Structure 1
Amino acid sequence: MAHGLGGTKDSGLEPFAEALADGGLDVLAFDYRGFGSSGGEPRQRVDLAGQVEDYRAALAAAASLPGVDPSRRVLWGVSLAGGHVLTAASGRDDVAAVVALTPLVDGLAAGRLAARHHPPSALLRSTAAGVRSRVGRPVMMPVVARPGELGALTLPGQLEAYTALAGPTWSNEVDARIGLELGRHRPVRHAAGVRAPLLVQIADFDRSAPPHAAAKAAERGRAEVRHYPCDHFDVWPGRDWFGPVVEHQLHFLRRHLTTSDRGRMPADTASQ
C-alpha cells in the first residue's frame, strides 16, 4: 500500500490499513524513495519508474515477513499509485489481487481534464516551473495550493482536503518537473497484462484522475468496477464515501483470497 502524488504513508493511509487489518489482512504501507520516512536523494522528486520499482521491492519484502503467504499478496494503490499497481502487477503470476482506487492511469487524459478546470495561465506557470527544474537546479512547487497559486493540485477544495490528511512526515512540496513527465505516464497500457483479479474504484466526478480513463483501464484489465458519485478526495477517511469504498475492498478481497486451495484469511492478524 502506498500513496498518490507527493503523499506519505502517515497521511490518510492508516485508516485504510486499519480497516483492512480488522478484516483479516496484514498490511504493509511504505513511503516511496525520497519521501516521508524512506531514504533516497533527491528528496520530494516523483520518480514514476522508481515508484513502480518501490512497489515491486515492497512486494518482495512482504513475502519474507513471518506468517505471510507469498501466494496471497495484494497490491493496493490510490490515485497516482492506482496506476502504479497496474504496472507492477502486469505479467506476474505471483500477485493474488489488485486494488486500484480512483486511479490515475493516463497522463494525457489527466492533462486534458486539467485544461478544462484550470485557466491557461495556471498551466503555463506550472509548465514553466517544470522546464526550469529540468534544465537547471530543481524547482519546488507546492503539492497542493489555493486556486490561482502555483501548485500541482489547485482546484477549489483540494488544499483543505489534502491538508486534512497530512501527517507529520508530509511536506507540501514536490519537484515541478513532474508536470512534464506525467504526459508520458500511461499505466492504462499495462492493464491488459494484469492476470490477478482486479478491482477498480472510480469517482464519477473526479477532477484529478479522469474517470473515463480509469473505466478504459478496467475494461482492459477485465476488472470488477465500483462507481461512486463523488470527487477525487471524497473517498478518503472522514469523507462520505470512505466507508463504502473499504467495504467493497474487503468484499472483493475475501472472495478472491478465501478459496479452497489458498485457505481462509486469518480472522485476527496484526497490521504491519
Structure 2
Amino acid sequence: MPIEEDVEFAVPGATLRGRLFRPGGSAGTPLPVAVLQGGLGGPAESVFPMAQGFTDAGLACLIYDHRCTGYSDGEPRQLFDPWQQCRDLRHVITHLTLRDDIDAGRIGLWGISIGGANSLFTAAMDRRVAAVVSLIPPVSGWSARKLQPTGTMAELDALIPDDRQAQLRGETAATLRLHGRPEPGRPVMFSDEEGLEFVENMIQGLPSFSNEITVSTLDHLFEMEVRAYAERITAPLLMILASKDTVAPAEEAREMFARVPEPKELIEYEGQHYEILSKHLPEIVSRSAGWLGRTLKR
C-alpha cells in the first residue's frame, strides 16, 4: 500500500494543502514524482483514489487543492484562475525539488481537463518538468463560451463587470452552479448527462466539494489560450482525448498536439468528455501512469 503524508506548501498569498503518496518500501530513496490535477471544481479528494496507479508504477504522487478551493487557503472561495494555478504549480515544483525523498530531475505533470491544460502550459514554461500527461484538455478558453446558449452567455457576460464592481465594494463574490440541469434564471456551467453522472458517482458528497464557481472564474477561463504555447513544450508528452469531445473540443487539442515537438504520443478513446472518464478511467490511469513511470525512469 502507498505511504501517505499530508503536506502544506507556502506560496505567495496562500497555503496549499494536499497529500503526497509514495510506494511502500521506498523510504530513503529519491523518487520520480507525478503532480496530479483534476478538472474544474474537482477537489484533491476526488483524485486521491487514482494515486495507487502511480505508486504501482514506481512514482511518488502529489495531489493538492488549488488556492481558494478545497482545504487550501484563498479568497474568494470557489475562484478558479488557471493562470494563477499554473504560477502556484511552479512554486509547488520548487518545494518538491527541496525534498530529500524526491528526485528533482524527474518531475512529471498529469492532469484531467483544465488540469490537463494547466499541465501543458506549465510544461511549456518550466524546464524542470521532465514529462507531461494531458487528458481531455480545453486548450482554448474561448471555446468554453460555446457551452452556453447565446442568450445565457450574454447574461453571464453582463454579470462579470457587475461582480467586479461588487467585489471592489467589499461584497461577496457572485457564484453560479458548476454542474446541474438548466433552469430559468439559474445558469449552470456544465449540464451534459455524462458530466452529471460522473460528478454524482465520483465527486458529489466529498466534504471538500462545492457545486459552484465564482462568476469571475468565467473571465479567467475565457482568457486562457494554452494552444499558443505548443511549440514551447519540449518535455515528452502523452495526450489522451475523447474523440467526440465538445466540452474541450477535440479538434483544437489535435491541432495543438500536431505543433508540439517530438517526442509525443496521442491516444483517443471513443466518446464524449466525461463519458470516457466514466467508462475507462481505471484503464486511462493505469496506462498513463505506466507511460509516465517509464518516461521518468529513463
TM-score, length of structure 1 as denominator length: 0.85
| Residue identity in the other structure for 2:153 | L
Q: 1:101 corresponds to which residue? A: 135
- Number of matched pairs: 252
Query: 1:36: Cα distance to partner?
Result: 0.3
Q: Is the 8 A contact 2:194 2:275 kept in 1?
A: no
Query: 1:257: Cα distance to partner?
Result: 1.9
Q: 1:266 corresponds to which residue? A: none
* Residues 28-84 of structure 1, C-alpha deviations (whole Å, 9 max, x = no match): 101111100101122111122211112112212222233211111001111111111
Pairing partner for 2:189 from 146, 149, 152: 152
Q: 2:265 corresponds to which residue? A: 224
**Aligned-pair identity (%):** 29
The alpha-carbon distance between structure 1 residues 142 and 120, as it changes in their structure 2 partners (threshold 3 A), is: same
Query: 1:189: Cα distance to partner?
Result: 1.1
Pairing partner for 1:251 from 270, 290, 296: 290
The alpha-carbon distance between structure 1 residues 91 and 121, as it changes in their structure 2 partners (threshold 3 A), is: closer
In 2, Cα distance between equivalents of 1:103 and 1:85: 9
Q: 1:7 corresponds to which residue? A: 42
Give unpaired runs (5+ residues) of structure 1.
260-272
Q: Does 1:129 align with 2:159?
A: yes
Larger strand proportion of the pair:
2
Query: 1:213: Cα distance to partner?
Result: 1.2
**Which protein, 1 or 2, shows the higher relative CO under an 8 Å CA cutoff with sep ≥ 6?**
1
In 2, Cα distance between equivalents of 1:3 and 1:258: 24
Give unpaired runs (5+ residues) of structure 2.
1-35, 168-172
TM-score, length of structure 2 as denominator length: 0.78
Runs of 4+ in 1 over 6 A off after TM superposition: none
In 2, Cα distance between equivalents of 1:107 and 1:10: 25
* Residues 103-139 of structure 1, C-alpha deviations (whole Å, 9 max, x = no match): 1110123334x2xxx5333333433333432332421
Q: After alignment, is 224-233 or 119-128 more displaced?
A: 119-128
| Residue identity in the other structure for 1:254 | G
After superposition, residues 49-88 of structure 1 pair within 5 angstroms as 49-88=83-122
- How big is the alpha-carbon RMSD for the aligned residues of Structure 1 and Structure 2? 1.9
Q: 2:239 corresponds to which residue? A: 200
| Residue identity in the other structure for 2:158 | A
Q: 1:140 corresponds to which residue? A: 175
